[in-house]
Amino acid sequence: MTNNISAYYNDNDKHDYNHNHNDNNNENNKLSLIKKIVLFCKNTFGIYLLWILIHFISVQLYVYFCTPFTLYGFLISPFISCAPHCKALNWAIYNSSNIIEYMWVLIGSWICSKLFIDKVIKL
């Protein structure tokens, strides 16, 4: 009889250990998933923030270096606008503007999909 009792307690101890061990694995999996989501958002939104920053800085630099707000700036602007640094700033302005536009299209499409497609699937 004592063997049965000790076997009962040993089995319950194993069950409790396995239960606690599984809880720890579930918590680790949840934390791992949260870390992956945060990293994904950081990388994704970081890229868009970088393009917004590039756009803002290049617009300011283009106005300062390529189109000064003086009579002299007006007279020299046809010549300076062809300079390599003005061409590079113009490229950055144009492409960052397109990327920001695509970002808004992407965000709008995602919102529409969450509002309309998810409701259609649930029906």
How far apart are alpha carbons 3 and 7 in whole angstroms? 6
How far, in whole angstroms, is CA 123 from its chain's centroid?
31
pLDDT recorded at residue 71: 92
* 8-state DSSP, 82: T
Q: What per-residue confidence (pLDDT) applies to 33?
A: 73
Distances (CA, A) of 3 to 6, 13, 33: 5, 15, 45
- pLDDT value, residue 56: 96
Residue type at 57?
Answer: I
Q: What is the pLDDT of residue 89?
A: 97
Domain ranges across the chain: 2-122
Kindly give the parts of the chain with pLDDT less than 70. Answer: 1-24, 41, 118-123
The CA distance from 48 to 100, in Å, is 7
Q: Do residues 67 and 90 lie in contact, with contact meaning Cβ atoms separated by under 8 Å?
A: no
Global confidence as pTM: 0.61
In degrees, rounded to 5, the angle at the alpha carbon of residue 114 between the alpha carbons of residues 45 and 48 is 15
Query: Which residue do the tokens 């009579």 mark?
Result: 71
CA distance 23 to 44: 31
Nearest to 67, CA basis, from 57, 80, 55: 80
The predicted pLDDT at position 95 comes to: 96
The pLDDT value recorded for residue 54 is: 94
